[in-house]
């Protein structure tokens, strides 16, 4: 009985969600921006007019011009080119960090929400402890321990963001667990694992997707922050955050070095925020 209701409900729900999404102009704009960032990241080598790493000491700190749309930096490299290549680092940082957070956090949250009692107690205390340490400080300490690099920054951000997903998933799992069809599944003797995977997880998914998109935005800013502090992607590899780290010492002489990477971060983050918002509006029936 329950299964029939399910399979009938889902396709309609999905179509309605898609329709709602497409009608939301801001959401579509967000999706478009995200798509743009992804494309830029993938096609950076073909889109760049210059080499992002090769220093050119003759063209140090030139203002924006026809040959260098966004000017050059302190080692004579084209800012526009580095911006395009930097998209890779930022996008990777955003997606992989959240990936780590989701892959660790969601299963933990499911276990905590579903089994409750001792399992929940242990996982929740651990999560609370992580959440009591301010996110950025935890990320800084982790990144300092691991050493400055993009990979380590991603791990640090992922681990620091993980508690949110645990909390979210746990809360959702608890409320889904109380639903009738789950009770029914238990009644007919389905194993825990199957219940979690087939019934709890799919219904927990929508808010997780929303949160994931919003967390990607947060992770991009976090990576930029870590790089800004000297703990993330280090020069000469281009990353928007480390470009800003260097640029801050040249703000008076070469303001374009600071302006454009910041705008890039802003746009990427805005895109993911809009996308997340759009997804929430589309998937969450309450907002009607």
Partner 1 sequence: MLRIIANRALVAIPTLILVSMMIFGLQKMLPGDPVMAMAGEDQNPQVIATLRLKYHLDEPVPVQYALWVKAILHGDLGASLRTDVPVTKLIAQKLPVTLQLAVMAMIFAIGIGLPLGVLSAANKGKALDYGANVLALTGMSIPNFWLGIILIFLVSVKWQLLPSSGYVSPTEDFWLSIKTMLMPAFVLGAALGAQLMRHTRSAMLSVLRSDYIRTARAKGLLRGTVVVKHGFRNALIPIVTVLALLFGELLAGAVLTEQVFTIPGFGKLVVDAVFNRDYAVVQGVVLVTAVGFIVVNLFADVLYVLLNPRLRKS
Partner 2 sequence: MRKIMLAAVIAASVGSSTVMAQSNSTIRIGLQDDIGTLDPARSSQVVDRIVFSSLCNSLVDIGPDLKVVPMLATSWSMSADNKTLTFKLRHGVKFHDDEPFNAAAVKANLDRARSMPASNRKSELASIDHVDVVDEFTVAIVLKAPDAALLATLTDRAGMMLAPKTLTDDASVSTHPVCSGPYKFVERVQNDRVVLEKFAGYWDADKYPIQKVIFQPIPDSTVRLANLRSGSLDMLERLAPSDVASVKSDKNLNFISMSGLGFYDLTFNVSNGPRAPKAFKDKRVRQAFELAIDRDAINQVIGGGIFSPIGQAIPSNSPYFDASIKTTKRDIPKAKALLKAAGFEQLNVELTFGNNTVSNQMAQMLQAMLSEAGINLKLRPTDYAAALNASTKGDFELLYLGWSGRTDPDGNLHQFVTCKGNLNYGRYCNPDVDKLLDDARVKATVAERKPVYDAAQKILADEDPIIYLYAQPWPYALSKKVQGFTPYPDGLIRLRGVSIKG
Interface residues with partner 2 (CB under 8 A)? 54-55, 57, 60, 74-75, 144, 147-148, 230, 234-236, 246, 248-253
Q: 154 or 200, CB closer to partner 1?
A: 154
Give residue 141's Cα distance to chain centre. 20
Alpha helices by DSSP H, listed for the chain, are 2-23, 25-47, 79-115, 117-132, 135-146, 150-177, 180-187, 192-195, 201-229, 240-247, 256-283
Contacts of residue 257, defined as CB under 8 A and 6 or more positions apart, other chains included, come to 61, 71, 73, 74, 79, 243, 246, 247, 250, 251
Whether 65 contacts 47, CB under 8 Å: no
The residue count of the chain comes to: 288
Rounded to whole angstroms, the Cα distance separating 106 from 253 reads 47
Rounded to whole angstroms, the Cα distance separating 108 from 123 reads 7
Contacted entry of partner 2, partner 1, none for residue 246, CB cut-off 5 to 8 Å set by kind: partner 2
Contacted entry of partner 1, partner 2, none for residue 262, CB cut-off 5 to 8 Å set by kind: partner 1
Selected binder of partner 1 within 106, 208, 269, 282 (CB under 8 A): 269
Interacting span for partner 1 (CB under 8 A) from 3-11, 65-73, 196-204, 262-270: 262-270
Q: 43 or 266, CB closer to partner 1?
A: 266
Residue 189 φ then ψ, to 5°: 95, 20
Q: 195 or 234, CB closer to partner 2?
A: 234
Contacted entry of partner 2, partner 1, none for residue 51, CB cut-off 5 to 8 Å set by kind: none
Binding residues for partner 1, rule: CB under 8 A, are: 26, 125-126, 128-137, 140-142, 144-145, 147, 217, 221, 224-225, 228-229, 244, 247-248, 251-252, 255, 258-259, 261-262, 265-267, 269-270, 273-274, 277, 286
């Amino acid at each position: 009985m329950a299964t029939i209701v399910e399979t009938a409900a889902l396709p309609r729900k999905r179509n309605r969600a898609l329709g709602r999404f497409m009608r939301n102009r801001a959401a579509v704009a967000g999706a478009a921006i995200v798509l743009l960032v992804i494309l830029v990241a993938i096609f950076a080598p073909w889109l760049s007019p210059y080499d992002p790493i090769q220093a050119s000491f003759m063209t140090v700190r030139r203002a924006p011009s026809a040959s260098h749309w966004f000017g050059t930096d302190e080692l004579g490299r084209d800012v526009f080119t580095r911006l395009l290549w930097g998209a890779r680092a930022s996008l990777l940082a955003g997606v992989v960090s959240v990936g780590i957070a989701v892959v660790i956090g969601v299963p933990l949250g499911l276990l905590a929400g579903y089994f409750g009692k001792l399992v929940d107690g242990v996982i929740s205390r651990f999560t609370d402890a992580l959440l009591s340490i301010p996110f950025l400080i935890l990320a800084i300490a982790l990144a300092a321990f691991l050493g400055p690099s993009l990979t380590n920054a991603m791990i640090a951000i992922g681990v620091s963001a993980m508690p949110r997903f645990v909390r979210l998933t746990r809360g959702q799992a608890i409320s889904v667990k109380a639903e009738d069809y789950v009770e029914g599944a238990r009644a007919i003797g389905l194993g825990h694992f199957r219940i979690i995977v087939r019934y709890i997880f799919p219904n927990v998914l929508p808010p997780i997707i929303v949160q994931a998109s919003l967390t990607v935005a947060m992770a991009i800013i976090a990576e930029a922050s870590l790089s800004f502090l000297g703990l993330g992607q280090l020069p000469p590899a281009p990353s928007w955050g480390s470009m800003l780290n260097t640029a801050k010492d040249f703000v008076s002489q070469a303001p374009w070095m600071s302006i454009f990477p910041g705008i890039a971060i802003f746009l990427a983050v805005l895109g993911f925020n809009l996308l997340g918002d759009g997804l929430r509006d589309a998937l969450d029936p309450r907002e009607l």
